[in-house]
Amino acid sequence: MLSSESKERIQALYRECIKALDLKPRYGQRVMIAEIAKSLGAIHEDDKGQRDNDNGIAVVEAGTGTGKTLAYLLAALPMAIEKEKKLLISTATVALQEQILDKDLPNLKKTISLPFNFALAKGRGRYLCLLKLDKSLQHLSGLLSTVDLFEQTPEEQDRELYESLLQSYGSGKWDGDRDRLTDAIEDKQWSHLTATHRECSNRRCPHFQNCAFYKARNAMEDADVIVANHDLVLADLSLGGGAVLPAPEKTIYVFDEGHHLADKALNHFRLEIGVRAQRQWLQQLEKGIEQFVAASGIPHSIMHSLTEAPQNIRDILQSISLVWPLLMDMIGDQDRLRFESGKMPENLRQLLINIKGPLQPLLLCLDKLNDMLQKSLDPKEDGDFTRDVAEAWQAPMGIMFSRAEQLSEALSWLCAEEAEGALPVARWLSKTPFGDGWDIRLSASPIAVADQLRKNLWWRCYGAVVTSATLTALNSFNKLSWESGLPDWANYQRVMSPFDYQKLGELQPVSLASDPKSDQFQADIEDWLKNNTDLSRGTLVLFSSRAQLEATRDTFLHDWYDQLLCQGFLPKAEIVRRHKERIDNGEGSIIFGLASFAEGIDLPGEYVTHVVIVKIPFAVPDDPIQAAISEWMESRGRNPFMELTLPAASIRLVQACGRLIRTEEDRGRISILDKRLLSHRYGKLLLDSLPPFKRI
């Protein structure tokens, strides 16, 4: 139960904020603060300071304009500091992360009497590795001849860039964070400058004291609030928790944009292997082992496994050579082939199982070799290799070991057979570009991650808040609960937006002559846009497919050349900048956008007075994971359209409508050009889940 002292402290902090920031108290914001504080205050601790009761998780859908960031900060931060836990705020988008870091937290720190520190957490791949930078420059100077086995060696034209980065980092002008570089750097260039966890030798690295990644991690130690993203949180949990971020048992999580968490987790657990890509790195590995043995010799303790490694590689390559023609025959002219019920043909499954045999001793060999090279870097230990050999080979062998681990894990998922009645694993083939040609990729993914999230997150965390403007689907939390594994005992709340939608906006379901399945639909939407778009105002037109966007653009480009901005033809940030500039100059501007413009874009006031949604944003029907979920539901007599497809479309439609009214002064209209809202029975369910705009 929330103590009276905690309650009074939170109320006092809220009053401080309202006064200092000159804000108007909002009923919904106060409700959200109270519900989060009540949930966290009900946590009971065991003698180790860990939660041991069914409390401490609040799920709050907060309508646009609630002020949810301030609400969860004021409710959770005092509780985290009091309980000596870390408050970890996780977002799905960079835009929200930057807003919290650059605006919300600095403003709060200046405003309230509760002192706190905050830090940003990112994955290792966003930070400079000084050892890799040093090796790249040595390559370019001819001082280092060891080949980089998995990436092309640094190119001469990048020498000036690498030297400037070294100077900038050494002088303290840059902190080694890729996202804080003044100029963008290409992925290919950056790949030579950052290390994976298998390449990194941690404290044994000669540059450890100056490491950008570990400096950032040290800053987290002193932080009360850590800002991260969903992907990093999920990656840390998959490593057991506490690998990069604080352990779940010592953390109160806030998942802002929480409706993305389950989808992010699905992508995180997906495993894939490209046949040609595997063949390429294994051939490089065989050459690499030959070079390594020639350069360093073979210690007695690893002699057997290292001498057997080339034959193991050849056996794997032999099996892969048999897989390729079989896959080509299966996929034919298709771009993708999904296996029904997740069951692969037995002949393919047996070929993949054959790879696992020689892969296992190879994996053990690389693991042992990687460990020996790591120890040889440590002057305090008696290593098997000279320091020069260890410095030259530890990173390439670390990459090899990581690739072998990925292959082994993917094969386990691909070859597994689920127990009767268990949730199936989605498995499919797809063609993907590779070099000058194409590859065939084998993919496997769970169709639901509720069990993983329940086990690794909800049961372990000290406390959690899940929030977003769109957590319910068709006015229910059922979809969120099923997909993300949130417990039934969590505190589920809906906080309505303070906006008077009836006065601020109009909703116009348009009944065109045709529906989206008709060949006439494209001509009908173009006619409607021609007659109903005010070229002097700010308009956002949202499409569900790139092909339709581009076809519509081709029609209007000549006549609307001075007003039209299209996603895919300019960077997103540049579209927003130009759009605002035109409106500020009293000109009209029209954005044609896809899904990423339907969420997270903030264009208040005159920037957008008309939102046009071309059709109901149903998911792409050929998505292999969604198709597998639908198949599984149908096999159990359930209705995937009503339980899965329609609720997901409802969330996306609410998000799209949320682009119109961003402040209490905004005015405008939403037009939805999909007659199914009026002609189909499910249309009423979708309309009833939207904000209560005035219907026209």
In the annotated binding site for [4Fe-4S] cluster, the residues are 129, 200, 205, 211
Q: How many CA atoms lie within 13 A of 495 on its CB side?
A: 29
For 139, counting Cβ atoms within 10 Å of its Cβ (0-12 exposed, 13-18 middle, 19+ buried), the class is: buried
Residues listed for the chain: 696
**CA distance linking residue 404 with residue 402, whole number of Å:** 5
* Binding-site residue ranges: 129, 200, 205, 211
Residue indicated by tokens 């040595």:
138
Q: Helix, strand, coil % (nearest 5) of the chain?
A: 50, 15, 35
b/e per residue 541-553 (b: at least 16 CB within 10 A): bbbbeeebbeebb
CB 471 within 8 A of CB 61: yes
For 66, counting Cβ atoms within 10 Å of its Cβ (0-12 exposed, 13-18 middle, 19+ buried), the class is: buried
User: 253 in helix, strand or coil?
Assistant: strand
Helix axes 261-269, 230-238, angle to 10 degrees: 50
Cα-Cα end-to-end distance for the chain: 48
**SS3 readout for 124-192:** HHHECCHHHHHHHHHHHHCCCCCCCCCCCCCCHHHHHHHHHHHHHHHCCCCCCEHHHCCCCCCHHHHCC
Long-range Cβ contacts of 347-350 (<8 Å, 24+ apart): 348/323, 349/414, 349/415
User: 594 in helix, strand or coil?
Assistant: coil
CB 626 within 8 A of CB 470: no
**Backbone angles phi and psi of 259, in degrees to 5:** -70, -10
**Backbone angles phi and psi of 328, in degrees to 5:** -60, -40
For 1, 7, 33, 66, the CA distances from 27, given in Å and listed in that order, are 22, 17, 10, 8
**Backbone angles phi and psi of 525, in degrees to 5:** -70, -35
| Short-list 414, 435, 429, CA closest to 328 | 429
CB 282 within 8 A of CB 317: yes
Handedness of CA 584, 589, 593, 598 (dihedral sign): positive
| Short-list 482, 519, 537, 525, CA closest to 667 | 537
**CA distance linking residue 35 with residue 493, whole number of Å:** 8
For 559, counting Cβ atoms within 10 Å of its Cβ (0-12 exposed, 13-18 middle, 19+ buried), the class is: exposed
Two tokens, residue 243? 């690998």
